[in-house]
Amino acid sequence: MMIFTLIRNELFKIFSYWRTYMSYFFILLLVPLFFWGFSVGGSNIERQLTNAMGNHFLMVGKLVNAFTVAYFVLNFLWIHIPFLIALVGGDVLAGEEAAGTYRVYLTRPVSRWKIFLSKSIATLLYTLSVILFLGIMSIGVGAIWMGLGDLVVLQDGILVLPAGTAAIRFALAYGLSFLNMSLVATLAIFFSAMVKNAVGPVIGTMAIVIIFFAISSLPLDFFETIRPFFFTTYFDSWTKAFYDPIPWDYLWLSTWTALLHIALFLGGAFLIFKRKDILS
Amino acid sequence: MNNSTQLAIQTEGLTKHFGAIHALQDVSLQVPNGTIFGFLGPNGAGKSTLIRVLTGLIHASAGHFAILGRRSKHNFHLRRGIGALVDRADFYKQLSGYHNLEMLARLSGHNKPSHLNDILHQVGLYSRRHDKVKTYSQGMKQRLGLGQALLGDPKLLILDEPTTGLDPIGMVEIRDFIRKIAEEREATIFLSSHLLHEVEELCTHIGLIFSGELVAQGSIEALFQHMGEITLDLDVTPTAVAEKFLQNHDLVKSCEQTATTLRISILYENVPELLRQLARQDVNIFSASQKNRLEAFFLAQAEGK
């Protein structure tokens, strides 16, 4: 099974660079910091919520728990985690060309299609591992640190999700996040196929993400019209996982949009990679 | 293609354009099995381009080729049974020499530790196998490059300027190693170089490329037989007798005395006859050497272009 061998090689390469571990270090450092912050200042937040809602609701249990913090931590998915994923995705093709290692790797009896596929799968597996690590650190470690409880979501009003439901919603949110981060990874791979150094793809990917976000948020008629066509428009899909009822139509639209873009970016990257002359 | 089974490499009308630049023009090359074939040309002549086409790194604009008698639409199939070192050897610097080799070996299914260690022994890197490649000298990287080319015991080795960037000791080591591989493995070696003495020292056959065009190919001896006038250095005594004889001889175009020899210009095919006649003049012939035969041939071809 050559493809598994190739994926193994690519994962071996990806995890041999220290920059690969930056995302884990980032999560390892910042998530506990969030928990610490909430455990120190959480009583204030809890008091404010109790004061605001206490007249209308009977408040029982802890309002600030692992789910609350995990919900805030998910905001890393806007910029920070995409950047860390682009660091790896942007290097996956261009890095080899810059280092001259294609001259030994591509002269082996393996088709470029399989090499490209293995690199893409390895990058997506890395992306998955980052999202899983985020989930484990946020909810797993959080559960030990603060315990679990109901999740209070402030979204056009106050929504309280029971702990059991919140867990399912988090699973859905992480799934949608993986899809969105895969889109970022494949955009980085697309840029990576076009150039000969890894810096360009990282900057290019982040520039696209930030510019699209900026344009999407401008309250002008023209931008409102083109907004649905930007993939960044659907980057908020994870937040919708915590709505009640869940807006499934929107989530399906965001899922198909992400899958279509992933296919487009990977298809484009493969065509470039396949026809590429290795001159370095 | 005829005789394809006797040929390790056969190209037909191979052409490569980079925009307006014609890197290869209608190259039809034949590399016989079991030879050490030197592919010569000045910098930018198209040597590396041809090698990159053969190894699948770049795509030909036109023409086709066969390797070890096989032709394929998907040229990665052709890379089975060949080992290649293209240009300077670059590896994953953050990995050890062993891990680099192991990763590449997996791609051709020859990743048994015993095979890898055997290769590391052969290229003299066994004791440094667990060190990261970033700690290797260029010579060591080049040897590791040769090592990866040997994975799976290839029948054809394609080496693109394998001594580039090496110091004189490193160059000698690599040349000795190539010679050893050719002898022990009975593999065909296709070697590009712009170092004429290197090719003359190592190769049985040569091909010459200028500005993307193949201008000559064949065995060195056969090509030299058609090279016309050559310069010969004669170490003889008594010098005065020999000089007088040579200056008046019809076969000799010119004769001059250097510090230690008599240097004559003569047609290549007339050399044996002249030496026979010279010996009959009671002249002791200690040596008759043609300095830089290949250089002379190369320059003659370059002038012809």
* Residues in chain A within 8 Å Cβ distance of B80: 109
| Portion of chain A with pLDDT greater than 90, in percent | 61
On whether any CB of chain A is under 8 Å from the CB of B164, the answer is no
In a domain, A279, yes or no: no
Residue A61's pLDDT is 64
Q: Say which of B59, B84, B91 has its CB closest to residue A107.
A: B84
**Number of domains observed in the structure of chain A:** 1
Amino acid B63: pLDDT? 93
- On whether residue A280 sits in a domain, the answer given is no
Q: Three-state SS for A176?
A: helix
Inside any domain, residue A14: yes
Nearest CA in chain A to B157: A107
Of A99, A106, A108, the CB nearest to B108: A108
The CATH T-level fold of domain B227-304 is Alpha-Beta Plaits (3.30.70)
pLDDT given at position A55: 66
A172 inside domain: yes
Do the domain assignments include residue A47? yes
| pLDDT of A247 over the 50 cut | yes
Nearest CA in chain A to B56: A107
Interchain contact, A278 vs B58, CB within 8 Å: yes
Mark A8-39 as b/e (b = at least 16 C-beta within 10 Å). Answer: ebbbbbbebeeebeebeebbeeebeebbeebe
Q: Taking Cα atoms as reference points, which of A118, A73, A267, A104 lies closest to residue B144?
A: A104
What pLDDT is recorded for position B1? 47
- In chain B, list all ranges with CATH 3.40.50.300: 4-219
Range of the structural domain that residue A270 is part of: 2-274
What mean pLDDT comes out for the span A29-57? 77
d(CA A181, CA A238): 11
* Interface probe with A: pick from B50, B106, B141, most Cβ of A within 10 Å: B106
Chain A residues within an 8 Å CB radius of B74 = 111
Per-residue pLDDT of chain B (305 residues; tens, 9 = 90+): 445 558 999 999 999 999 889 999 999 999 999 999 999 998 889 999 999 999 999 999 999 999 998 886 667 788 888 999 998 889 999 999 999 999 999 988 888 999 999 999 988 899 999 999 999 998 899 889 999 999 988 999 999 988 877 788 888 888 888 888 888 888 899 999 888 888 888 899 999 999 999 999 999 888 877 767 788 899 999 999 999 999 999 999 889 998 889 999 888 888 999 999 999 998 999 999 876 678 777 877 777 76
Interchain pair B107, A279: CB under 8 A: no
CA separation for the pair A67, A166 (Å, rounded): 7
Contact A103 B91 (CB under 8 A): no
Q: What is the pLDDT of residues B4-58, one digit of tens each?
A: 558 999 999 999 999 889 999 999 999 999 999 999 998 889 999 999 999 999 9
| Residue ranges of chain B that CATH labels 3.30.70.980 | 227-304
Of B77, B79, B106, the CB nearest to A107: B79
B4-219 CATH: 3.40.50.300
CB contact under 8 A, A107 and B55: yes
Closest Cβ–Cβ partner in A16, A17, A103 for B57: A103
Output the six-digit token pair for B220. 């060195």
What pLDDT, on the 0 to 100 scale, is given for residue A58? 65
Answer whether B93 touches A (CB < 8 Å).
Answer: yes
Instruction: Note whether residue A134 is domain-resident.
Output: yes
Closest Cα in chain A to B149: A104
With respect to residue A121, please indicate whether it lies within any of the assigned structural domains.
yes
Count the helices and strands in chain A (H runs, E runs). 13, 2
